[in-house]
Structure 1
Amino acid sequence: MAGRILIVDNVPTNRIILKVKLSSAFYEVIQAASGRDAMMRAKQDQPDIIILDTNLGDMTAHEACAQLKADPITCDIPVLIATPAADTEAKIAALKAGADEFLTKPIDELTLTARVRALLRARSTTHELRRRNETARTLGFAEAPVNFTMPGKIVLVGRNPEDAMTWRAGLRGLVQDTIEISQADRVIEKIAADDAADVYLISADIMGSTGGLSLISDIRARANTRFAGIVVVHGAQDRKEAIMALDLGANDIITRGADPEEMALRLRSQMRSKKEADALRSTIDEGLRLAMVDPLTGLYNRRYALPHIAQIAQASNQAGQNFALMLLDLDRFKRINDTYGHAVGDEVLKEVALRMQKCLRSVDLVARYGGEEFLICLPQISLRDARITAERIRAAICDTAVTVTAQGDPVMSSVSIGLAMGGAPDGTPVQHDTQALLDIADRALYDAKAEGRNQVTLGPFAA
């Protein structure tokens, strides 16, 4: 099934009609006959969307929605409320109660399914972000959620300047975010210049009957506005454009001439969702960075390096190219810690990491493998150039003091390097096992240590 939808209505006929419409679109439908029943089914079945009729018998839809949004178990489930067509107050009350959308009675099937698709898409994205964030928090890589109070930026794109100015006048005092008016043909120009908004309010019929729809696609295609909120204003009879807008990536639609308070509520909802999603992505990115980067040296760690090397090995095999692996170990590092203390030892590790990076190309990988041991992978390189690079790294570390103590004593260090080559020595692609190459480099490193340290030793070419 594409999604599970809970229908709540105290009139059985209404539930059946709505179930038929949704089941024909291959959604799984469950039903509840009252507000109390809805609370129980929502917690028990965890639907992807809840559709509430205005009157549920034992409570109103607004009361039920408020309870659902206040419960931590059900607060993230999108809620749609069915309202009378001409009842503006009911629509605004639905949004104030926390509803994600309202459906105008009689419910149009195409509009219903378009709304459901848009909400399922948004819920899937948010749910995945929250799941990743929880994983990061479990691993200790993320912080607790914060309140989102910083004002955002809303850009209004009307059919003409007067159109947008009317919107801005109506929104004055109802939203706390910065509001700008932009011509349609300048929106993408500003985005390209890194002047993006958090939310866009766009007329569906700018630059022709479907100009707004084209602009939605352009906004979604840009990296810095891919997750922006988009609300499309459409004519009361333009059902086709409204449905297309939702399917093209609009987050919400609103009928032209709607009450300014309704517009403000929708924009505030989109801004809140955008800010929350941005914060989650930022937390996840930071968590991933902490999970993959060694905090002392700033190098990638083993967790990141091994799968990355596996990809390099696969690409080298497919292209018939050589690549090199190096395992490097600082010589007599324990003596440095014992003589000068661990703080000086940390400074040595940081400086060694910096010197290695300066000896490598942008495509090369250097990682802290553990302790005083480092791992380097050089894609698309010959044996001769790999040995030259290894010798350059060795000399960069041992030729001058890696740090100076507080007493002014220079601290010298050196490194032993085990080198292994992977790829296609005779032009014939060879499927390499990454661990086997690491074992070859490790044995070569052991030989370098046994033969006197501060040298590069080549292991046998893997085959």
Structure 2
Amino acid sequence: MSGRILVIDKTAPDAGARAGALREAGFECIHCDSFESVLARLPDPAVDLLLAILPVDAAAHREAMGFLRGLRGRPGCDRLPVVVPGGWHDAAARLALLEAGACEVTDAPMPAELLQARIRNLLRARDTRDELARREATHRMLGFSEASASFAPRQRITVIAPDPPEDGFADWGLPGPLHRVGPHRPFAAEGRGADLFVIDGAALCARGHARNDLFRIVAELRSRSATRRAAQLVLLPDQSREAAMLLDLGADDIVPGGVLPEEIAYRGRRLLRRKLLADRLRATERNGLQAALTDPLTGLWNRRYALPHLARLIAGAQARRRPVGVMLLDIDLFKAVNDTHGHAAGDEVLRQVAARLRDGLRPADLLARIGGEEFLVAMPDTSLDQARSAAERLRHRIREAPFRISETRGSCRVTVSVGVALGPRGTDPETEAEALMSRADAALYAAKTTGRNRVTVSLGAA
């Protein structure tokens, strides 16, 4: 993941080292020397995140509080991720900065690998929010505008803590009720349907559990179908180097020891709001628009939805000056599947191909069935190398295992050919969407004519 970061660093001595570590991780850093120069530059859709590195003193705290409140009140800046790393030992000061609008504040200088993981985590959350906005805008453009539901259902919280439980089981002021499970039973019935898991790593470590147990819990919660969509808040005894790995494994937030219970509650409520937003994103695919905008066989978006949404992705890419990767995938020799096994078997193969493609993509990627056996994928914020790598990964997902047709007819194998193109180039999003599709289609044709089961990149992709 890459991104463009606006940096204000008032501590100077190690500013170069911080920027260097971020550049090595693929981020572009733009430096400002004051809050005023930051505000003069914003709003800017090309900026992904603000990193504010400040002296830890009362004057800097007051200045940062005023800046954050002003930033959040400015149109177009209310959701810009803001990270304030380093040395805020006063728990009340940390909480005040979070409530004023910071997305992350740390109580110790943040190691480079943890800072990078925090930024990746925040940008993933931003992508979910932006994709929801794009989908709702596409629905309105197609004439299917519906008001978003204002009712927020009661959300369920499950705490993973030592077993047997300690006396005085903490609730940290989270909106209850809280359901508790032991570290070896986080996937039991009590954990199913949870919107938020609070993993009390501090208590687990105090009771002799290894840090590897936390890795196992986070990874398994994220991988299992019953729990993968739940938010995860991990409490650690300190700001350890394991925090970066936990974030990359799937934890949504990490809280080191020494914070106020109010901060844990604040972070938990924030994750519950994010979970509700993600649920809304998925609900847009299941509402009344589904019949008009989705393919009834595979459940994917159809051409009617995909083309205007691709134009909207391109418009966003132009504003942020970031690339969009587009690929067209076509099942090789699909007619032979129908002729050999029957059309019902062909339909089953199409459904399973769609499922494998969906499982191999990010939530913000567009996946649509646009023809009989042809699929469109659009990947925002994706370089040519990343698009080619993703195409190869999808091709392998289709080829690697047979497709089960029925109990009586057994299974069959299929492959796909993929054409890849990169944009945008032009200024008009709709024209550029057509041009990108045309370049990807030409690359797909080349893949078909040179042997099938391969990925070909448009000659004009770079």
Q: TM over 0.5: same fold?
A: yes
2:272 paired residue number:
271
2:177 paired residue number:
178
SS of residue matched to 1:225: coil
Q: Which of 196, 199, 210 does residue 212 from structure 2 map onto?
A: 210
SS of residue matched to 1:151: coil
- Within 5 Å, give how 1:242-253 maps onto structure 2: 242-253=243-254
CA distance in 2, matches of 1:22, 1:301: 36
Q: For each residue in 1:400-455, what CA deviation from the matched residue of structure 2 results, as whole angstroms up to 9, or x when unmatched?
A: xxxxxxxxxxxxxxxxxxxxxxxxxxxxx9xxxxxxxxxxxxxxxxxxxxxxxxxx
Report the residue type matching 1:263 in the other structure: I
Please report how far the alpha carbon of residue 148 of structure 1 lies from its aligned counterpart in structure 2 after TM superposition. 5.8
Does the aligned pair in 2 maintain the 1:157–1:164 contact within 8 Å?
Answer: no
SS of residue matched to 1:150: coil
- Within 5 Å, give how 1:116-127 maps onto structure 2: 116-127=119-130
Q: For each residue in 1:289-318, what CA deviation from the matched residue of structure 2 results, as whole angstroms up to 9, or x when unmatched?
A: 1424799xxx999968xxxxx979953435
Q: Check if 1:65 corresponds to 2:68.
A: yes
CA distance in 2, matches of 1:247, 1:301: 29
Does the aligned pair in 2 maintain the 1:188–1:219 contact within 8 Å?
Answer: yes
Does the aligned pair in 2 maintain the 1:36–1:58 contact within 8 Å?
Answer: no
Report the residue type matching 1:203 in the other structure: D
CA distance in 2, matches of 1:94, 1:164: 32
CA distance in 2, matches of 1:51, 1:235: 25
CA distance in 2, matches of 1:135, 1:36: 36
SS of residue matched to 1:43: coil
Q: Which of 74, 78, 83 does residue 80 from structure 1 map onto?
A: 83
Q: For each residue in 1:201-258, what CA deviation from the matched residue of structure 2 results, as whole angstroms up to 9, or x when unmatched?
A: 1133475432121111111112242221101111216x13222111101000112343
Please report how far the alpha carbon of residue 101 of structure 1 lies from its aligned counterpart in structure 2 after TM superposition. 1.0
Please report how far the alpha carbon of residue 114 of structure 1 lies from its aligned counterpart in structure 2 after TM superposition. 1.8
Q: For each residue in 1:343-391, what CA deviation from the matched residue of structure 2 results, as whole angstroms up to 9, or x when unmatched?
A: xxxxxxxxxxxxxxxxxx99699xxxxxxxxxxxx99xxxxxxxxxxxx
Does the aligned pair in 2 maintain the 1:48–1:77 contact within 8 Å?
Answer: yes
Does the aligned pair in 1 maintain the 2:243–2:254 contact within 8 Å?
Answer: yes
CA distance in 2, matches of 1:57, 1:209: 35
Does the aligned pair in 2 maintain the 1:133–1:284 contact within 8 Å?
Answer: no
SS of residue matched to 1:181: strand
Does the aligned pair in 1 maintain the 2:9–2:52 contact within 8 Å?
Answer: yes
2:3 paired residue number:
3
SS of residue matched to 1:187: coil
Among the aligned pairs, what percent are the same residue?
30
Q: Check if 1:20 corresponds to 2:29.
A: no
Does the aligned pair in 2 maintain the 1:229–1:271 contact within 8 Å?
Answer: yes
Q: Check if 1:317 corresponds to 2:336.
A: yes
Please report how far the alpha carbon of residue 321 of structure 1 lies from its aligned counterpart in structure 2 after TM superposition. 2.2
1:383 paired residue number:
none
Q: For each residue in 1:3-49, what CA deviation from the matched residue of structure 2 results, as whole angstroms up to 9, or x when unmatched?
A: 11111234544543432221222210012222222123231354211
Shift in alpha-carbon separation, 1:32–1:362, aligned structure 2, 3 A? closer
Shift in alpha-carbon separation, 1:63–1:223, aligned structure 2, 3 A? farther
Please report how far the alpha carbon of residue 50 of structure 1 lies from its aligned counterpart in structure 2 after TM superposition. 1.0
Report the residue type matching 1:317 in the other structure: A
Report the residue type matching 1:219 in the other structure: L
Give the structure-1-normalised TM-score. 0.60
Q: Check if 1:97 corresponds to 2:96.
A: no
SS of residue matched to 2:232: strand
Does the aligned pair in 2 maintain the 1:136–1:142 contact within 8 Å?
Answer: yes
SS of residue matched to 1:51: strand
CA distance in 1, matches of 2:301, 2:178: 44
SS of residue matched to 1:31: strand
Does the aligned pair in 1 maintain the 2:156–2:196 contact within 8 Å?
Answer: yes
Does the aligned pair in 1 maintain the 2:81–2:103 contact within 8 Å?
Answer: yes
Please report how far the alpha carbon of residue 164 of structure 1 lies from its aligned counterpart in structure 2 after TM superposition. 8.7
Shift in alpha-carbon separation, 1:10–1:145, aligned structure 2, 3 A? farther
CA distance in 1, matches of 2:288, 2:13: 50
Does the aligned pair in 2 maintain the 1:8–1:31 contact within 8 Å?
Answer: yes
Does the aligned pair in 2 maintain the 1:136–1:284 contact within 8 Å?
Answer: no
SS of residue matched to 1:80: strand
Shift in alpha-carbon separation, 1:146–1:65, aligned structure 2, 3 A? farther
CA distance in 1, matches of 2:228, 2:220: 9
2:227 paired residue number:
225
User: Which has the larger displacement, 262-271 or 44-53?
Assistant: 44-53
2:50 paired residue number:
50
Report the residue type matching 2:180 in the other structure: I
Please report how far the alpha carbon of residue 157 of structure 1 lies from its aligned counterpart in structure 2 after TM superposition. 0.8
CA distance in 2, matches of 1:24, 1:228: 31
CA distance in 2, matches of 1:25, 1:302: 36
2:315 paired residue number:
none
Does the aligned pair in 2 maintain the 1:46–1:74 contact within 8 Å?
Answer: no
CA distance in 2, matches of 1:272, 1:324: 45
Q: Check if 1:129 corresponds to 2:128.
A: no
> Which of 1 and 2 has greater Rg?
1
CA distance in 2, matches of 1:36, 1:122: 27
Q: Which of 152, 155, 163 does residue 155 from structure 2 map onto?
A: 152
CA distance in 2, matches of 1:29, 1:94: 23
SS of residue matched to 2:7: strand
Report the residue type matching 2:195 in the other structure: D
SS of residue matched to 2:238: coil
1:30 paired residue number:
30
Does the aligned pair in 2 maintain the 1:50–1:80 contact within 8 Å?
Answer: yes
RMSD: 4.1
Give aligned pairs, total.
Answer: 323
CA distance in 2, matches of 1:45, 1:83: 27
Q: Structure 2: which 5+ runs fail to align?
A: 305-328, 351-371, 374-413, 415-462
Shift in alpha-carbon separation, 1:223–1:139, aligned structure 2, 3 A? farther
Q: For each residue in 1:66-102, what CA deviation from the matched residue of structure 2 results, as whole angstroms up to 9, or x when unmatched?
A: 2333334122221112353421111111211122111
CA distance in 2, matches of 1:100, 1:48: 13
